[in-house]
Amino acid sequence: MSPFDHRMLLKDMPKAFVWVGLLVLSLLLVPPALILRARAVPSEHRRIHIIQNMDNQPKFVDQQENILFADHRSMRPPVPGTVSRSQMVGDTHLFLGTVDSEFATSFPEQVTINEALLKRGRIAFGIYCLPCHGVKGEGNGIVHERAMVLLNTGANGTTWVQPKNLHEEAIAEQPVGQIFWSITNGVRNMAGYGSQVRVQDRWAIVAWVKALQFSQNAPSDMVPGADALPVRTRVAPGEEEEGAS
Ligand code: HEC
């Protein structure tokens, strides 16, 4: 006989021990039963929310009384002299890019067009626009490339609108104020950058966009050393390029 005979073990155990064991076992079934019931049966009570993670906090809502303040208003009036950014429209040319409710066709007087402005515009464009519109503004930035990969591999729920090619005729002909407006407020699927980019930098970006557009269409007499560059005539698709090697 093996030294561990389970029947002997049960026999030798005091009876009370067995009953207590059975009782404990059946009590152990109660919590899972309660949890299963809570998951299955609709209840009028709030669900039990043990880990709060700041999900519920006391707060004041609009128009509510708040005795903390002498006038008992929970909505506080702005501090006297406060100027809200979105209401700073006294100078519509500078802040909105409009003159007499039309898009401005010139830069505001506060913006001086010089090399420093273009440099600034190039940097800001590189930070805020290039990822989508690409280094030359052709609408083929790295974000676009990545979005196309996701679209083509059918990653769940990806939708994408290609960033515009800023050299499209319709955009190249836009007045500077309209480009400023698009940067500030966004346009259709593009978000606005008014809250991230300062007014001066937004105008600098406009200047850089104009410079990019000009760079793709500059007449040769305005390009220093143009004579020394190889001439490349425009060739229709399918046609042989003249002098192509
Ligand atoms: C997250 C990607 C993204 C970024 C960043 C972005 N754009 Fe765009 N942009 C778009 C898309 C997409 C469109 C086309 C929107 C549409 O047609 O619905 C667009 C359209 C435009 C247009 C055309 C507006 C028109 O009238 O059709 C201009 C101009 C433009 N963007 C300039 C900029 C400039 C300048 C910046 C940097 C401040 C910038 N964008 C940053 C995605 C972007």
pLDDT 10s digits, 131-143:
999 999 999 999 9
The answer, yes or no, to whether residue 244 has pLDDT greater than 50, is: no
The answer, yes or no, to whether residue 245 has pLDDT greater than 50, is: no
The answer, yes or no, to whether residue 228 has pLDDT greater than 50, is: yes
Question: Distance, CA 114 to ligand 1 centroid (Å)?
Answer: 25
Closest residue CA from atom 37 of ligand 1: 129
Mean pLDDT, residues 37-61: 87
Question: Distance, CA 34 to ligand 1 centroid (Å)?
Answer: 55
Q: CA dihedral defined by 197, 200, 205, 211, rounded to 10 degrees? A: 180
Question: Distance, CA 100 to ligand 1 centroid (Å)?
Answer: 25
- pLDDT interval class at 117 (50, 70, 90): very high
The token pair that represents 144 in the structure block: 């676009």
Position 116 scores a pLDDT of 96
CA–CA distance from 221 to each of 55, 90, 173, 209, 225 (Å)?
66, 42, 22, 21, 9
Return the best residue to mutate from 122, 123, 130, 132 for the ligand 1 pocket (most ligand atoms within 8 A of CB).
132
| Amino acid code (one letter) for 97 | G
The token pair that represents 13 in the structure block: 């155990």
Over residues 57-107, the pLDDT tens digits come to 888 888 999 999 999 999 998 889 887 766 666 789 999 999 999 999 999
The alpha helices in the chain, defined as continuous H runs, are: 6-12, 15-28, 30-40, 92-95, 115-128, 130-133, 142-152, 169-172, 176-185, 199-215
The answer, yes or no, to whether residue 241 has pLDDT greater than 60, is: no
The answer, yes or no, to whether residue 182 has pLDDT greater than 80, is: yes
Over residues 5-40, the pLDDT tens digits come to 667 666 777 888 889 999 999 999 999 999 999 889
Q: Where are the domains of the chain?
A: 15-39, 89-220
CB of 188 closer than 6 A to ligand 1? Answer: yes
Whether CATH 1.10.760.10 fits 89-220: yes
CB of 173 closer than 6 A to ligand 1? Answer: no
How far apart (Å, rounded) are the C-alpha atoms in residues 60 and 191?
31
Return the best residue to mutate from 120, 127, 133, 212 for the ligand 1 pocket (most ligand atoms within 8 A of CB).
133
Name the range with the highest mean pLDDT among 72-76, 225-229, 240-244: 72-76
